[in-house]
């Protein structure tokens, strides 16, 4: 086989059923091999989805991976093709998303000569990917590609980049059909993780803390989703009557419609979730990392907890931000199953009616709310209407900004992998291409991109990708004429100086843009009285649909915990009660965004 044919055959062997990418000179041999593979009646086709640009391809692969749990694949050319994928690679690394990016490269002899469309991919990607390979020995190409998939999906998942010179793609040699590169250190650590089991002494220590606890609380993060541990989490929480809060990335690990779901905590988490964290006496962190959006002031985070337990697959996360009294590094689902089994065998099911009643009262008193009498369209109302129709069963993708937080706050999610968002990186432009990838991963699911007017501009070209492949994706643009989250911070902390964030004078007509790109259903919603009817028509439409909603430009995201502050400093706005006094002082000038 040629090197290019080997790449395609390994992808087929790995079960890849769709790839996303944009062609170019240095990757032409591989694109040709995909074309030939797909025309062979004896082979299962691997559809090649072409975006408007390579960043879109990267986010499509990431959306596919987030929605399916399988490795997403992106194939791009050298130089600008590769550099356009840096942001999706970093985004996937930050959120632990398994992805393989295959980049064409100039011929081996030309590397380092500043050849046409050459970029130092290894140097650029080395600091943002889980691993990077530059293949200069064609006899190791097959093993390298197989190993890339292995690294991407195992342990703490992440993106792996393979830089493949054009001459390596054109080389011809034997196809082994098996084998990988020797990775003794990595595989040894994996084996240790996978063979690790909770011992009786560790189990007894954990349940001694739980037995002392009257108000235990689970704090679940994206690691529960990536570790396919949601079922084990739900069984553990049910067995011992423990309420659950989730991070932005952990949404869906528990059914948000259930009584013991305390929804999202953190900077823009529900007030009742944050108060539950303050009130708990035993915090159990599962696949979460105490990041700055959750623990703005680590010393005052979970201030009432006498004990904190932390379970994660990554040893570096233990005691990185918050000191804990009990920890476990290993496979999360197995550990939770072992805890549940041990606790039940010991008859350690505790009665927690007082704590459950307290949490229920927190949810009642400090419920999410907004100005329901406003004559302007409130974004929360739009999301509530969509949620009423989708019942927590749709895949929701978002851009980044206020609309992202409103979606996290007001949508229900009955399962994991229904919520796709750029968490740690906060990458505007993520929502639309990620929705495309999710639709290919789940062709029978309803996929909705909740976007903002500023965020969707970043990858607006992907509207054409939706219609080119006739995807029934629903796109919602909540238009407040600007960078809404930036404007909110400017109003709160910069005396209302809207530097570079007000787009009210921009002349973009989103409806004409959607129609020009072939959307058969494209409407603008301007009157509150029309919301229920138009939203129902929008969701019911069978093909691609685009809905622009002109929302209250002053609508804010509340609650809000300022950077570096504790939950007792939370700002709840005008429509959600608060049991604190709010921030004693504004964040410092150098605090994080």
Domains and their CATH numbers in the chain: 3-184 (3.40.50.970), 196-365 (3.40.50.1220), 379-550 (3.40.50.970)
Q: Which of 35, 43, 44, 116 is catalytic?
A: 116
Q: How far is Cα 203 from Cα 97, in angstroms, rounded to an integer?
A: 30
At residue 586, the pLDDT reads 76
Q: What is the pLDDT of residues 14-69, one digit of tens each?
A: 999 999 999 999 999 999 999 999 999 999 999 999 999 999 999 999 999 999 99
Q: Higher-confidence residue: 588 or 226?
A: 226
Is 528 a known active-site residue?
Answer: no
Taking 70 as the threshold, does the pLDDT of residue 282 lie above it? yes
Residues whose CB is less than 8 angstroms from the CB of residue 172 and which lie 6 or more positions away in sequence, other chains included? 1, 2, 3
Q: How far apart are CA 276 and CA 216, in angstroms?
A: 10
User: Mind listing the pLDDT tens digit for each residue in 423-471?
Assistant: 999 999 999 999 999 999 999 999 999 999 999 999 999 999 999 999 9
Triad 393, 273, 250: Cα angle to 5° = 45
Active-site residue, selected from the candidate residues 1, 117, 194, 235:
117
pLDDT of residue 219: 98
Q: Which among 5, 14, 54, 568 is annotated as catalytic?
A: 54
Whole-number Å distance between alpha carbons of 227 and 246: 15
- Degrees to nearest 5, angle at CA 130 with 129 and 135: 80
Q: Pick the catalytic residue: 133, 142, 166, 523?
A: 166
- List CB contacts of 370: < 8 A, sequence separation 6 or more: 378, 380, 381, 555, 575
Instruction: Look at phi and psi of residue 112 and say left if phi exceeds 0, alpha if psi is from -120 to 50, else beta.
Output: left
**How many residues make up the chain in this entry?**
593
Q: Which of 125, 485, 560, 570 is catalytic?
A: 485
Read off the pLDDT of each residue in 326-331 and give the average, rounded to a whole number. Answer: 97
Give the pLDDT confidence of 362-413 residue by residue, as tens digits. Answer: 999 999 999 999 999 999 999 999 999 999 999 999 999 999 999 999 999 9
| 116 labelled catalytic | yes
> Is position 166 annotated as part of the catalytic site?
yes
54 labelled catalytic:
yes
pLDDT tens string 103-136: 999 999 999 999 999 999 999 999 999 999 999 9
Q: What is the predicted pLDDT for the residue at 593?
A: 67
| 52/74 Cα distance (integer angstroms) | 13
């Amino acid at each position: 086989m040629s090197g290019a044919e080997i790449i395609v055959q390994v992808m087929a062997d790995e079960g890849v059923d769709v790839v996303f990418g944009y062609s170019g000179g240095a990757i032409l041999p591989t694109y040709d091999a995909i074309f030939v593979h797909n025309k062979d009646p004896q082979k299962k086709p691997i559809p090649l989805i072409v975006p408007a640009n390579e960043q879109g391809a990267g986010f499509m692969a990431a959306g596919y991976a987030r929605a399916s749990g399988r490795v997403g694949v992106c194939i791009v050319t050298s130089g600008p093709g590769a550099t356009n994928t840096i942001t999706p690679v970093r985004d996937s690394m930050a959120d632990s998303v398994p992805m393989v990016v295959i980049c064409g490269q100039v011929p081996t002899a030309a590397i380092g000569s500043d050849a046409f469309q050459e970029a130092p991919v290894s140097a650029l990607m080395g600091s943002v990917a889980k691993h990077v390979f530059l293949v200069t020995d064609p006899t190791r190409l097959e093993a390298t590609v197989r190993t890339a998939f292995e690294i991407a999906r195992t342990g703490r998942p992440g993106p792996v980049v393979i830089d493949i010179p054009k001459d390596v793609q054109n080389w011809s040699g034997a196809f082994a059909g098996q084998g990988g590169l020797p990775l003794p250190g990595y595989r040894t650590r994996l084996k240790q993780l996978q063979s690790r089991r909770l011992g009786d002494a560790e189990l007894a220590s954990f349940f001694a803390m739980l037995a002392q606890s009257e108000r235990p609380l689970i704090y679940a993060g994206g690691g529960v989703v990536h570790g396919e541990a949601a079922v084990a989490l739900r069984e553990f929480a049910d067995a011992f009557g423990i309420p659950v809060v989730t991070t932005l990335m952990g949404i869906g690990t528990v059914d948000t419609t259930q009584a013991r779901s305390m929804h999202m905590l953190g900077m823009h988490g529900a007030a009742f979730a944050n108060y539950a964290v303050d009130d708990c006496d035993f915090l159990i962190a599962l696949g979460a990392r105490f990041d700055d959006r959750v623990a703005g002031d680590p010393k005052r985070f979970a201030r009432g907890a006498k004990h904190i337990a932390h379970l994660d697959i990554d040893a570096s996360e233990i005691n990185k931000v918050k000191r804990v009294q009990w920890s476990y590094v290993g496979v999360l689902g197995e550990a939770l199953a072992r805890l549940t089994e041990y606790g039940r065998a010991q008859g350690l099911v505790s009665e927690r009616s007082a704590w459950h009643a307290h949490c229920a009262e927190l949810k009642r008193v400090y419920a999410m709310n907004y100005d329901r009498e406003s004559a302007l369209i409130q974004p929360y109302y739009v999301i509530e209407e969509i949620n009423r129709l989708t019942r927590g069963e749709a895949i929701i993708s978002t851009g980044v900004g206020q609309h992202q937080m409103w979606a996290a706050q007001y949508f229900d999610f009955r399962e994991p992998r229904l919520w796709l968002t750029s968490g740690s990186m906060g990458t505007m432009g993520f929502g639309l291409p990620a929705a495309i990838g999710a639709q290919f991963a789940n062709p029978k699911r309803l996929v909705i991109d909740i976007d903002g007017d500023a965020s969707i501009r970043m990858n607006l070209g992907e509207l054409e990708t939706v219609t080119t492949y006739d995807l029934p994706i629903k796109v919602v643009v909540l238009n407040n004429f600007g960078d809404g989250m930036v404007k909110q911070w400017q109003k709160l902390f910069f005396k209302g100086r809207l530097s570079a964030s007000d787009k009210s004078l921009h002349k973009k007509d989103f409806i004409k843009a959607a129609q020009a790109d072939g959307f058969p259903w494209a409407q603008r919603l301007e009157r509150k009285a029309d919301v229920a009817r138009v939203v129902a028509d929008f969701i019911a439409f069978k093909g691609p649909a685009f809905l622009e909603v002109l929302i209250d430009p002053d609508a804010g995201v509340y609650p809000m915990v300022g950077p570096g502050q504790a939950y007792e400093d939370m700002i709840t706005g005008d429509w959600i009660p608060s049991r604190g006094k709010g921030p004693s002082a504004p964040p410092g000038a150098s605090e994080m965004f």
